[in-house]
Structure 1
Amino acid sequence: MMTKRLNLSKAVVDFLSVNPEKKYTARQIAEWVCTEFPEECRTKRESSRVLETDGDLLQQLVAEIGTLRPQIQKKHPNLKTTEGRPRKYFFSEKTDSAEVDAAENPHVPALDITGITKIEERHLYPMLSAYLWAEFRVYAKRIDEKRSSNKRGPNGNRWLYPDVVGMEDLGAEWHPEVQNCVSEYADKRTKLWSFEVKLLLNRSNVRECFFQTVSNSSWSNNGYLVAGEIEGTETIKELRILCAAHGIGLIKLDIENPTESQALIPAKVRTEIDWDAANRLAVENRDFLDYLKSVRQFYQTGEAKQSDWDLQEVATI
């Protein structure tokens, strides 16, 4: 009697193709393989000298799925992956640009990033604020472009405003006398942060989104591009090149657990604020003006008034 051998590549493609657009981790796929092909998996385990338990087999399948990924994607271009931790696999017949349109167009159903619920870009802002506070103790504030003047015409302020801004108190743990001394040199007490937030980054929109971030974060000490999802290794490679050249950082938001998000690429800190650029934003947008008022109040009192910042709890999705 011939023993059945597991064709893992075919199993992965078959599973994802009958569940289009849904995203799965390698572990979730491996668990399905173990359930769907018990005889083949038993044969694989028994023929190995190192796979002593079912847990060992599962870990081996997870590792093999990762190893086979480039080969599978070369043969099946519609099998796509996200970047960041954990990588997710999915099957989609949409072009990269169609996926971006689905994410950003309000007339198209919202992008299903988690495989559990549909979200819009606005849902990412409080998640980012929670992560920034938990990881960096940065006070964040949303900048709503709808609160801007239109005196420059429809595209006069294009790429001018970040989605979220922040303030980091560098002297939170300092002795009061040191704080008072440094208050004479206000630009040394804080770092001002700027964030451009996107639901999805892939090959079709990565350069446009990146240079949008460069444009609207030029005033700040730290500028970051933030993504709910990043698709494809080529996208990450492009971002690493661009970030190194322009000093912009990259944050991958963990949609299911925002405080476990990752700063994949740190921003290069600019020592000086571009106050001319900040002035234009303040003149054009009331939210940004309120942000600078909150920063000024911090310099005057030495304390950040929490009601001025977006420090609310993140709603569970």
Structure 2
Amino acid sequence: MALNLRESVFEILRKHREPPLPPRQITEKILEFHPEACAAKLARSDSLNTQSALLQQITAEIRASRPRLRLRLQKNYRQIKTLETRPRKFYYSEASATEEITRTESTPKTATRNTLALKKHSEAQLYLPLGKYLRAEFKLRSMRIDERRSSNSKGPKGNRWLFPDIVALEDLTDSWDEEILACASQYADQRTRLWSFEVKCLLNRANSRECFFQALSNSSWANLGYLVAAEIEDSDTLKGLRLLCAAHGIGLMLLDTENPAESQILIPARERAAIDWDIANRLAEENKDFLAYIKNIRHFYQTGDLRRSDWQATGDE
């Protein structure tokens, strides 16, 4: 009995729809449910001598077959989808790209740990792990900008592409000698970088362009701007985002919500040399959180003090 890899992968994912599975776990299930076909594959091979070697071989074949699965050469395989994580993960879904966004973003804030393991979140649940990652990896001090605290003087949708979800300050003087710091202060040289983050639960072909340009618009005032996602559905989406990021200088970050330290900057942002204070002024006029952010920056420049209570990105919403 020959092992039909594509049929086997499809069968495994259809029966075990959640959570998404990496290639090795799919292989383990294939070995469990198709022992005779796997034994025949091992017997026919001149290079495979052990069960462990067979597991590694099938895992490699699944990874190599990913583009063919994604291209859906046969109608029956349209439900097989991927997540651009490390390692990539496969899952079965009959939902359209738009329905995937709705389903991913509709998880209640009281979701159980098991539900969270499926990487389905509200955006608010992403702020805390993002803040932890930024602090640990880049020593950034971050804040949440709540658009609900805006004056909405431009109308109900006037601020939709104005405010980022998270803003942050990077202290460039953290390791400077006191004399260097004092000298730089007298010359009014740059002592910080200001960062901006637009956060999304899921990026796919249905929403990636709109989300990207929202991030571009919302970070136009900052030194560095990032689009952050907990999930990126497939390589086509990632390819399109790479082109947009290269053209406009926005960075792309993949957030690991369960282990923030494993988050990845997929595409580094291109730094702008200066802050656009005109745009920053509009944000400060429209939103109390952003005004507090500016006050915290001023406090740092005047005192050199980064009060911990002033810099927190929380998900308590």
In the superposition, the TM-score normalised over structure 2's length comes to 0.91
Contact 2:285 2:291 in 1 (8 A): yes
Aligned equivalent of 1:204: 206
The verdict on how the C-alpha distance between 1:21 and 1:185 changes in structure 2, with shifts beyond 3 A counting, is farther
The verdict on how the C-alpha distance between 1:82 and 1:214 changes in structure 2, with shifts beyond 3 A counting, is same
Counterpart mapping for 1:296-311 below 5 A: 296-310=298-312
Q: Distance in 2 between matches of 1:191 and 1:215?
A: 18
Name which of 17, 22, 26 aligns with 1:25: 22
Aligned equivalent of 2:236: 234
Once the two structures are TM-superposed, the CA of residue 113 in structure 1 deviates from its matched residue by 7.8
Once the two structures are TM-superposed, the CA of residue 43 in structure 1 deviates from its matched residue by 2.9
The verdict on how the C-alpha distance between 1:271 and 1:135 changes in structure 2, with shifts beyond 3 A counting, is same
Name which of 264, 282, 287 aligns with 2:284: 282
Q: Distance in 1 between matches of 2:292 and 2:66?
A: 48
Q: Distance in 1 between matches of 2:15 and 2:146?
A: 40
Which letter does structure 1 place at the counterpart of 2:94? E
Q: Distance in 2 between matches of 1:108 and 1:296?
A: 35
Higher mean C-alpha displacement, 269-278 vs 150-159? 150-159
The verdict on how the C-alpha distance between 1:263 and 1:91 changes in structure 2, with shifts beyond 3 A counting, is same
Q: Distance in 2 between matches of 1:107 and 1:218?
A: 32
Q: Distance in 2 between matches of 1:127 and 1:29?
A: 28
TM-superposition CA deviations, 1:52-80 (whole Å, max 9, x none): 43332222221110111222232222211
Once the two structures are TM-superposed, the CA of residue 141 in structure 1 deviates from its matched residue by 0.8
Q: How many residues align?
A: 311
The verdict on how the C-alpha distance between 1:67 and 1:127 changes in structure 2, with shifts beyond 3 A counting, is same
Aligned equivalent of 2:91: 90
Higher mean C-alpha displacement, 93-102 vs 34-43? 34-43
Aligned equivalent of 1:35: 32
Contact 1:16 1:91 in 2 (8 A): yes
Aligned equivalent of 2:265: 263
The answer on 1:59 being equivalent to 2:56 is: yes
TM-superposition CA deviations, 1:120-139 (whole Å, max 9, x none): 11110011111111111111
Once the two structures are TM-superposed, the CA of residue 252 in structure 1 deviates from its matched residue by 0.2
Higher mean C-alpha displacement, 36-45 vs 127-136? 36-45
TM-superposition CA deviations, 1:239-267 (whole Å, max 9, x none): 00000000000000112211110000000
Contact 2:204 2:237 in 1 (8 A): yes
Name which of 159, 162, 169 aligns with 2:161: 159
Once the two structures are TM-superposed, the CA of residue 108 in structure 1 deviates from its matched residue by 12
Any idea what SS the aligned residue of 2:170 has? strand
Aligned equivalent of 2:41: 44
Any idea what SS the aligned residue of 2:168 has? strand
Q: Distance in 2 between matches of 1:254 and 1:106?
A: 17
Contact 1:197 1:226 in 2 (8 A): yes
The answer on 1:100 being equivalent to 2:95 is: no
Q: Distance in 1 between matches of 2:49 and 2:180?
A: 60
Any idea what SS the aligned residue of 1:149 has? coil
The verdict on how the C-alpha distance between 1:306 and 1:134 changes in structure 2, with shifts beyond 3 A counting, is same
The answer on 1:13 being equivalent to 2:13 is: no
Any idea what SS the aligned residue of 1:188 has? coil
| RMSD value, Cα | 2.4
Any idea what SS the aligned residue of 2:186 has? coil
Counterpart mapping for 1:111-260 below 5 A: 115-116=117-118, 118-186=120-188, 188-260=190-262
Once the two structures are TM-superposed, the CA of residue 180 in structure 1 deviates from its matched residue by 1.4
Q: Distance in 2 between matches of 1:311 and 1:225?
A: 16
Once the two structures are TM-superposed, the CA of residue 6 in structure 1 deviates from its matched residue by 1.6
Contact 2:20 2:118 in 1 (8 A): no
Contact 1:186 1:299 in 2 (8 A): no
Q: Distance in 2 between matches of 1:106 and 1:17?
A: 22
Q: Distance in 1 between matches of 2:126 and 2:117?
A: 16
Any idea what SS the aligned residue of 2:37 has? helix
The verdict on how the C-alpha distance between 1:115 and 1:311 changes in structure 2, with shifts beyond 3 A counting, is closer
The verdict on how the C-alpha distance between 1:55 and 1:256 changes in structure 2, with shifts beyond 3 A counting, is farther
Which letter does structure 2 place at the counterpart of 1:228? A
The verdict on how the C-alpha distance between 1:141 and 1:187 changes in structure 2, with shifts beyond 3 A counting, is farther
Gaps of 5+ in 2: none
